Amino acid sequence: MIRFKSGVTPFVIQQYYDALTTQGIPCVVRNQFISGAMGELPAQDLEQELWLINADDLVFAERVLTSLKEDNSAEAWVCNTCHEPQDAEFNLCWNCQSPKC
Ligand SMILES: [Zn+2]
């Protein structure tokens, strides 16, 4: 387990979580249900955190989040080289790095 993201709103954590799980990256949200303890714990302990189950996924996970910030109006596509399905926001194949065409 490795802590991946914190210090953002619960909405953003959820958005990241959805994006990573869509890409098949196992991850968990910590402190998801702790808001009931607000006022009893220091603020930093109330912050939601996104953790990756496998530290090896870190680079790919960062790439997924980077792609979230780009235009996602395009449609999903399939790599012409290796035939892996790609999410619309990627312009390079995640598997073989061939460009989208
Ligand atoms: Zn490919």
pLDDT in tens, 51-86: 999 999 999 999 999 888 765 556 788 999 999 998
What does the angle CA 9 – CA 4 – CA 42 come to, to the nearest 5 degrees? 50
Mean of pLDDT values over 38-50: 70
The predicted pLDDT at position 43 comes to 58
pTM of the model: 0.59
CA of 69 to the centre of ligand 1 (A): 22
CA of 91 to the centre of ligand 1 (A): 11
CA of 45 to the centre of ligand 1 (A): 42
As residues whose CB is below 5 A from the ion ligand 1, the structure lists 79, 81-82, 93, 95-96, 98
Kindly list the distances between the CA atom of residue 29 and the CA atoms of 11, 49, 65, 91, in Å, as whole numbers in the listed order.
12, 6, 15, 28
Each domain of the chain, given as residue ranges in start order, spans 2-69, 72-101
The predicted pLDDT at position 73 comes to 57
Q: At what angle do helices 58-68 and 10-22 cross, to 10 degrees?
A: 110
User: Which percentage of the chain shows pLDDT scores above 70?
Assistant: 81
Q: Note the CATH number of domain 2-69.
A: 3.30.70
The predicted pLDDT at position 70 comes to 64
